[in-house]
Amino acid sequence: MRTPSGIDCPHFYGDYFRGRSIEECRLLKAAGQTWSPDLCKTCPVPGIARANACEHLQLKPVIGRPLSAMFMRRVQISAYCAKTRRNVKEPHIGCGECHPLPPIFDTSS
């Protein structure tokens, strides 16, 4: 569903039926974090969802203020692969074992 910032996100939910105005981020809600529409502008989750469609990737969001309290709140993501049972350093790419490159891209020969 499209977020208030205009980006499609699989975790955003909006109910506008018959005058309702319910909006929430279900990823943040499941983690016990409070959501506000300004968080969608800088959230990395839509980009991760577009780049990596692995069903084993589990995202854990944390709302924080990077570097200083003067900056606006941002969603920070840590990722975990349920198949390999380890933390993922770069969620956009994945763990590297769930979806190996096809043999046509192999440059070893």
Quote the domain boundaries for residue 31: 27-97
Question: Residue 65 in contact with residue 71, Cβ under 8 Å?
Answer: yes
Tell me how far apart the terminal alpha carbons of the chain are, to the nearest angstrom.
44
Note whether residue 55 is domain-resident.
yes
User: Looking at the 3D structure of the chain, how many domains does it have?
Assistant: 1
For the whole model, what pTM was predicted?
0.81
Asked if residues 32 and 25 have their Cβ atoms less than 8 Å apart, the reply is no
Could you read off the pLDDT of 23-56 as tens digits, one per residue?
999 999 999 999 999 999 999 999 999 999 899 9
Mean pLDDT across 13-27 = 91
- Answer whether residue 3 is part of any domain: no
pLDDT band for position 20 (cuts 50, 70, 90): confident
- Residue 68 CA: distances (Å) to CA of 35, 43, 62, 65, 102: 20, 18, 16, 6, 43
Phi, psi of 66, rounded to the nearest 5 degrees = -70, 145
pLDDT at 73: 87
pLDDT of residue 96: 84
